[in-house]
Amino acid sequence: MRRLSDESGFVGGFEALPFGFLVFVVGSLLLVNAWAVFDCHLAASSAAREAVRTYVESNDATAADAAGRAAATEAMEGQGKNDRSRWELTWSSDAALVRCRQLTATVTYRVPTIAVPWIGAFGSGFLTTSARHSEIVDPFRSGLSTDGFDAESCGA
């Protein structure tokens, strides 16, 4: 067997290094963005849960919406997602503080395109994640309106 004296294989391997580095960087950015979506979904589900829980436990029907929104804002700030322009809270269409009524809160969050630690997030985001949480107002609770209360459908 004869040994080749030129080193042309070395040049071919060296040219592949920049391409491999580019693939590594793009793959890392995709992995980081996937984690950002997961992190934003956890924050949205926490905010939806706290909003509907505060709404349901409120004693005043007129202040329940404001209390629920404040709880959602506090939950998002606790997760480090205090940019109010990126997320939105919506209630179910029949949201009212009536005994045995099921309330649903939905939090939708626009995930930033890229988030750099200690600097912040860039881009308006092309992904959205949403979380929904539902609770039923206690059917035996006193001090609430009975308009629309149906004892048979509630199981009370």
Is the separation of the CB atoms in 67 and 54 below 8 Å?
yes
The one-letter amino acid at 125: G
pLDDT tens for 97-148 read: 888 888 899 999 888 776 666 656 666 667 888 999 999 888 777 777 666 6
Total Cβ atoms within 10 A of residue 145: 12
> What is the rounded CA–CA span in Å between residue 125 and residue 140?
44
30-85 per-position pLDDT tens digit:
787 788 888 889 999 999 999 999 988 888 877 888 999 999 999 999 988 877 77
Query: pTM for the complete prediction?
Result: 0.73
